[in-house]
Chain A
């Protein structure tokens, strides 16, 4: 199946710093990518929808100024956690939809574990 990568796989940072997470579709073009966050013992929660060439659509309760999303190309979306705090520590996962395939499957990246000290 299609491959989606995320970089870095894990990151530890100090409180107040910013962290950028990359999501790449390696063998297909993705006009739409989604960013999810997984809370302990909870489901995957959608944070935002990232559309190539336009502004991201954020879910209710997600601070767009804190979680900056850029989808600059058909194969890359980035999530930047600005002024990170310990409560931002989580597992962030992106998914992408293959623009060239008619279907509904989303391909997930391996996730990024963020720990804010």
Chain B
């Protein structure tokens, strides 16, 4: 049973527009959520995170929103740039020093 779900395997967005990547989770014990960006044949690189005590965290062009009641989070990228094209993984964890549980990823293509 997948605890972290990214239901959209792919997303295409025009350059300059907003990219919204969605993630749902089922484990109510998750209290920290992270987004990673991954290029082929490379390890994931950390993008942004959010603690369960917050509902929004912003870092430059990246904003993560958390809706705990719906067990849903989203990553907004605005404006989208061609260099943002990659696979984005949503990940969650129950606390410090615990492994990450990943979603299957969403492939974002930003079209110039």
- Closest B residue to A32 using CB positions: B97
A-B residue pair count with CB separations less than 8 angstroms = 56
Chain A interface category by residue count: 20 to 34
- Closest A residue to B105 using CB positions: A43
Of residues 58 through 112 on chain B, the ones whose CB sits less than 8 Å from some CB of chain A are 89, 93, 95-97, 99-105
Q: List A contacts of B46 (CB < 8 A).
A: 1, 105-108
Residue contact A103 to B96, C-beta cutoff 8 Å: yes
- Closest B residue to A45 using CB positions: B102
Give chain A's interface residues, CB within 8 Å of chain B. 1, 4, 6, 31-32, 34, 41-46, 49, 91, 93, 95, 97, 102-111, 113
Give chain B's interface residues, CB within 8 Å of chain A. 32, 34, 36, 41-46, 49, 89, 93, 95-97, 99-105
Contacts A6-B43, A104-B96 given; 13 further ones with Cβ under 8 A?
A1-B46, A43-B105, A44-B89, A44-B100, A45-B102, A97-B96, A103-B96, A104-B93, A104-B95, A107-B46, A108-B44, A110-B43, A111-B42
